[in-house]
Chains A and B, each alone.
Chain A
Amino acid sequence: MLAPHSRRNVLRGMLGGTAVTVGLPFLDCFLNSNGTALADGRDLPVYFGTWSQGLGFTPGYWEPKGIGANYENNLFLKPLDPIKHKVTIFSGLRAFMDSNPLNPHGSGPAACLSGGHPKAGVSMPTVDTIIADSVGTTTRFRSLEVSCDGSDGSQSARNATSRNPSEPSPLAFYKRLFGPEFRDPNSADFTPDPAVMARQSVLSAISERRAALNGRLGASDQARLDEYFTSLRGLEQQLTLRLEKPQPIVGCSVPHTEGEEDPATHGTLITDTQRDHRLFARLVAHAMSCDQTRVVNMMFSGGGGGSPLRRQGLSMTYHVSTHEEATDPVLGYQPQVAWFMTQIAAAMAEYFMTLDSFKIGDQTLLDRSLIMYSTDVGRAQIHSQENMPMFLVGGAGGRVKTGLHVPASGQTVARVGLTAQHVMGVPVSTWGTESNMTSKPFTEILA
């Protein structure tokens, strides 16, 4: 039984940070011996997420040293060190503008997340919605969007005009997830889906003709055909499982709550954003562990004037600093801007480490996730669309290699989005528009 919801006790439990995961017990007995799949053979889910933030990282100070595995993090990304073995960094990417007018803080996200630039009447779904349509159809929420800077800003959109708004309040987010509509995955009522039944019923047509195929093949071809039928049986088995009442969900834990002080309302200090981000991170992890969703879009902060992050005691906002602060001739970068960038990298690291602290068998939520980091600009000072940092984080259930530095100088940011779609099993060959169009995923990171 959950305690009554108030911002106060949700946050107390969350901010306490230790041993909040009581709720349902871990059900490792349902895992197979590798901890990679349910004991009955169903694969564990793979999650997709985005983590976005505005104003990027100043070129020259984030690109790692070394190529491939065991890279060394550059100055601004040092906070990612504890988790860098699960962070793959792409450097040198570019958001091609072609002849589209620059939307200073909008063009970059459009290119990174939807592979091009919105034009009148043309739909530009973002990559998370494409993936959600593919993997998120069986969960309670097709996707979840949250924003940490107090705004409802979101970069998730089905098309140029329909944006998935973000939830800015951790309390409201908690209620949405674990309020009265939350159903224990063990006791939920279950009705089989007729569409799945229909799919299952036609597959038997293939096996019915098997006899006619056999008998005219050589040994090696016969073995190949046998492998085909083994795979077909696996497919049928998947459908059968979907027609059965769901098994208890491994690792599902509901956040525990106790009463404490209600923190101040959301201000414009970066510390406010960091606090909400920490709350969201844990709620997201709980939601994923209970398979409430497979897709989560986390927006730390926006880029332009709409997201005025401040530092205590500093008059200029982060955004204004990027444009107005002088570059320190000795350091080679803008010192205040650098401070913000390091703070943001630290928050990002915290998110990944939170997901990494939730265990599923001998894997973690992060191991079963693919999180795509993107931003809006290469160099915030001039709204450059070059040297755009993008990362893919997490193991996607073993589908990708992690912890690599992949230089991709002058190549389109859309290659990362295409890679993410391939990893998540979206059937797409070519993605993006104009010069951002690509049919080349980063195959070197595929496991």
Chain B
Amino acid sequence: MSAFDRVNAFFVTLCILGTASALPAAAETRGFVVSLFAPASASTEGDCSQGINIPLGQQYALDLLAAGYTKEAVDKLAEGQDTTMFGGFNSSWGRAVVFRTKINGKPVSAWINPAAALDPNLHMVDGKYGFGFNLDGNGAASPTGFEDPLTHEKGVNNQMFRAMGCFTVFRGDEKGILTPGAHHQAWTIVQNGMPAWLISISGDDLSKDGDVTVTFDVAVEHVERDAQSQVLRDMTFRINADRRSHHEFAAELKGGVISLKKPEDLLAVWGEEMFMPTLELRSMRMRLELRPDGALHGMMGGYMPWKDAMSTGLQANMGIHWIGLYYNLRKAADANPDPKTGENRDISTAYFIDAVPAFAVAPDKSKKVARR
């Protein structure tokens, strides 16, 4: 009866009227909560002409040879060990793999000092297809451009896919279907504990073509799951009062697909520490489709700090050669050069995004910005 006591004290009807002051008055607003956010991988047969990267244990053995171990020494270390376990400090194998790096002749952890570790030169995608957007504006002339396998737009930039696409766990398919890989794992794991990401679409009439506003916010609550373990639809979320994660973009709705009017910067969408501390996409593009079942499905792309992209693989600590990924991303980075070193700091990316209907309520609880 405690629930009764509590609720009885304030029997008031929730007042959910009007719209948030920051938004232009719109006749229709639909709210969504992001249910999937994962790197867009468009893997096709033979797109890693040098082959898919070899299993971790074998690569570590090569790393040890490169670090100066003899074949016999490596075999001895590996005997009876799970050679994929880099972090097994209680085994001589694990210690050797981690401390194969030296600084000033002193062994240091390769994981803490990746730049001091040798580049294993792992394979990168060199095929024709990749999902993404023409971020650099060079179109088909872009030397690193892919062709989008669904839209067949040429010159789309997605260097993150180039860097990651030859790891088994990051492979998808050309139809945009994700295999359950590292990105998937990282997302599903963190999603249950991270503040939900909210999107709302406002316009005069979302059943017709016209101007719309796309809003990004971070919620106080995390997503809930339904009986199928999918993100529960029609949940209510409170918008986080921290406005740094609040973004509004002018967009256009055409044929049920929403795209931005111009490239925009999406900065500091608060995420989850291990996976993606903040989501930053500069010069962002998007293509979001309003589906008949009420969900939102599409792709977002832009430039993100390549070190942030590393975090995607951090949770998924198996099947990814961490040092190899570090070097691949660093080498593939294609924007925002460091004025001192000339090295690019950002990398072009594209992410698949799914969102399901949700209610979003402004922090003061009295105003609703989006109705499903």
Q: Do chains A and B touch in the complex (CB under 8 A)?
A: yes
Interface residues of A (CB under 8 A from B): 94, 97-102, 268, 305-306, 308, 315-317, 319-320, 323-327, 379, 381-384, 386, 409-411
Are B169's CB and A323's CB within 8 A? yes
CA distance A327 to B178 in the complex (A): 12
Please name all residues of chain B whose beta carbon is closer than 8 Å to the beta carbon of A324 when the two chains form the complex: 55-56, 168-169, 318-319
Chain A interface, DSSP helix/strand/loop, else mixed: loop
Given A98-B192, A326-B168, the answer on whether A319 and B84 have CB atoms closer than 8 Å is yes
Are A320's CB and B180's CB within 8 A? no
| Chain B residues numbered 160-197 whose CB sits less than 8 Å from any CB in chain A | 168-169, 171, 179-182, 184-185, 188-189, 192-193
Are A305's CB and B228's CB within 8 A? no
Are B84's CB and A305's CB within 8 A? yes
Given A315-B55, A320-B55, A320-B57, the answer on whether A410 and B228 have CB atoms closer than 8 Å is yes
Please name all residues of chain A whose beta carbon is closer than 8 Å to the beta carbon of B318 when the two chains form the complex: 320, 323-324
Are B188's CB and A410's CB within 8 A? no
What is the distance, in angstroms, from B166's C-beta to the closest C-beta of chain A?
12
Are B56's CB and A379's CB within 8 A? no
Cβ contact of B82, chosen from A315, A320, A411, cutoff 8 A = A320
* Complex: chain A residue closest to B225, CB-CB: A410
Cβ contact of B192, chosen from A97, A305, A409, A411, cutoff 8 A = A97
CA distance A323 to B85 in the complex (A): 12
Are B84's CB and A320's CB within 8 A? yes
* Complex: chain A residue closest to B58, CB-CB: A315
Are A305's CB and B184's CB within 8 A? no
Please name all residues of chain B whose beta carbon is closer than 8 Å to the beta carbon of A327 when the two chains form the complex: 179
Are A410's CB and B189's CB within 8 A? no
CA distance A102 to B336 in the complex (A): 35
CA distance A324 to B229 in the complex (A): 25
Cβ contact of A386, chosen from B55, B82, B169, B229, cutoff 8 A = B229
* Complex: chain B residue closest to A307, CB-CB: B82
* Complex: chain B residue closest to A381, CB-CB: B180
Please name all residues of chain A whose beta carbon is closer than 8 Å to the beta carbon of B227 when the two chains form the complex: 409-411
* Complex: chain A residue closest to B86, CB-CB: A305
Residue-wise interface mask of B (70-103) relative to A, using a CB-CB cutoff of 8 A (1 in contact, 0 not): 0000000000111011001000000000000000
Are A323's CB and B228's CB within 8 A? no
Q: Which of A315, A324, A326: most chain B CB closer than 10 A?
A: A324
Are B56's CB and A320's CB within 8 A? yes
Please name all residues of chain A whose beta carbon is closer than 8 Å to the beta carbon of B364 when the two chains form the complex: none
Are A305's CB and B82's CB within 8 A? yes
What is the distance, in angstroms, from B47's C-beta to the closest C-beta of chain A?
14
CA distance A167 to B71 in the complex (A): 36
Please name all residues of chain A whose beta carbon is closer than 8 Å to the beta carbon of B293 when the two chains form the complex: none
Are A382's CB and B192's CB within 8 A? no
Are A305's CB and B55's CB within 8 A? no
